[in-house]
Amino acid sequence: MRWGSWLKQGTILVSIMALVSGCFGTKPVLEELGKDGRGKLKVLYSNEGDFFRDYGNVFTLKFPNIDIEVVETNGLYQQMQIQKGVDYGTLLTKLIDEQQPDVLTLSAPEYEEYALGGKLYNLDSIIKQEQFDLEGFMPGLIDMVREQGGGALFGLPPFFYTDVLYYNADLFKANAIDLPKGGMTWKELFDLAARFEDAGMPGLYAGYENAVGMLKRIADTWGLQEFDAKGEHILLESESWKQAYQMMTDAIRTRALQVQKSDAMFLPSSNNLFLQGNAAMTFGSSGFISEFSDPQNKKASKMDWGMVPVPIDPSHPNETTSARLYEYFAINEHSSNKRAAWEFVKYVNGPEMAKASSAIYYKLPTRTGFVKSIQGKSTEAFYALQIKNMKYEWAIKRVPSDFNIAYSPLREEALKAIIDKVKTVDEALAELQQKAQAALQKVRQDKVK
């Protein structure tokens, strides 16, 4: 009897607590903005003009009473020139420590470093309380960002860019060759490109990239590493590296692939074989689409063109290494203006910003469904593959930056020897391995001196 009485009283107490909680509401994770939505915000960005053009102007339309100050990072590169031996990351950390911006604009490696270093505010609680939609982002994106943050969400990336394979449908039709399709491997792409030999043109045009750039595309797709985990040993004599070198050099030698003699920072449309109708396929980002509507590109404007996703690794057919996130927006763990900072991060990663950016070609919203077509062409190819987490604990971070100065000519020499059939792939890579290892050791020794 006594037990029943206690049970009854306990049930009543729980009911009262639930009622009180419902009346007064759950305590906000972050305090609301001041009267009339007033607040202040300090944002880390490259420069003030770009910030307001890219984000600030539209944000202030919705939050006119939030005063924004921009902490510029573009001056850090000049400081690197003055302070020899000081890297960008060190200068960035110093700037953040001194200025204490509320919102941090970070690259992928910076985001991972700061998140794992406890410098960013965990967004999970506020996202859950406000039921901020995470389902609308690209498949796999939020999982990848969580993984980079050690299992928690410390930032969100509103935009990304990715390359796709553009093709000239007129040339395929004229030569009775089947159109490229999504899900092709690199071998299938080069085999398809080789079919244009009788047409007297390269099937695949590398645009502004040289042989090294194309080799890197293949290596990234296959997940190949040039260094061991400690960045102390060169790893070029694996069967996978040999296949990558062999496949690409064969394609260049047979003219299935045409590359630049050296990387071109800028390639005029008049010199672009694909835009002039003299190559069947090329790689390009979403910004490349603007070339087809340029009145000065008469041949390109009349072209029947299409696009499909870039080649994939069969062992990871749903992922691509050709996609990158533009920037992550995160909140400084030490910010005293976390509510205003969250309103900014939430807005620029929300549906309104995604919709407002639908006319921008050079970057695409990470939220799907807002840019369904560009110039009448479906954007499905851009969203078809998940962005692969590149794991920013790369061995390359442990390799002295001066190494590339010595390594680049050695690699180009090896590629030329293979293309010209002066050496076999095995011979060229064995020699490159030896010379590159010696160069790496020398750079490390010089750094210690």
Predicted confidence pLDDT, tens digits, the chain (449 residues): 444 444 444 444 444 444 444 444 578 889 888 778 889 999 999 999 999 999 999 999 999 999 999 999 999 998 988 887 788 999 999 999 999 999 999 999 999 999 999 999 999 999 999 999 999 999 999 999 999 999 999 999 999 999 999 999 999 999 999 999 999 999 999 999 999 999 999 999 999 899 999 999 999 999 999 998 888 899 999 999 999 999 999 999 999 999 998 655 666 777 899 999 999 999 999 999 999 988 888 899 999 999 999 999 999 999 999 999 999 999 999 999 999 999 999 999 999 999 988 777 789 999 999 999 999 999 999 999 999 987 655 556 678 878 989 999 999 999 999 999 999 999 999 999 999 999 999 988 887 66
Closest CA to 349 of 31, 55, 116: 55
Q: Determine the Cα angle at 14 with ends 8 and 17, to 5°.
A: 145
Q: Could you tell me if 440 and 234 are in contact, meaning their C-beta atoms sit under 8 angstroms apart?
A: yes
Q: Which fold has domain 164-321+400-448?
A: D-Maltodextrin-Binding Protein; domain 2 (3.40.190)
Q: Note whether 35-161+325-387 and 164-321+400-448 share their fold.
A: yes
Domain definitions of the chain by residue range: 35-161+325-387, 164-321+400-448
CATH architecture of 35-161+325-387: 3-Layer(aba) Sandwich (3.40)
Q: Could you tell me if 335 and 100 are in contact, meaning their C-beta atoms sit under 8 angstroms apart?
A: yes
Residues in CB range of 424: below 8 A, 6 or more apart: 418
**Which residues on adjacent β-strands are paired with residue 391?**
none
Q: How many helices (H) and strands (E) does the chain have?
A: 18, 17
Instruction: Give the pair of three-digit tokens for residue 47.
Output: 């420069």
Q: What distance in Å separates the CA atoms of residue 366 and residue 160, rounded to the nearest whole number? A: 6
pLDDT of residue 347: 97
Q: What distance in Å separates the CA atoms of residue 419 and residue 412, rounded to the nearest whole number? A: 11
pLDDT of residue 34: 77
pLDDT of residue 21: 41
pLDDT of residue 152: 97
pLDDT of residue 36: 83
pLDDT of residue 80: 87
Q: What distance in Å separates the CA atoms of residue 227 and residue 65, rounded to the nearest whole number? A: 51
pLDDT of residue 269: 75
pLDDT of residue 23: 42
Q: What distance in Å separates the CA atoms of residue 110 and residue 93, rounded to the nearest whole number? A: 10
Q: What distance in Å separates the CA atoms of residue 365 and residue 286, rounded to the nearest whole number? A: 12
pLDDT of residue 27: 82
User: Which strand (E) or helix (H) includes residue 201?
Assistant: none
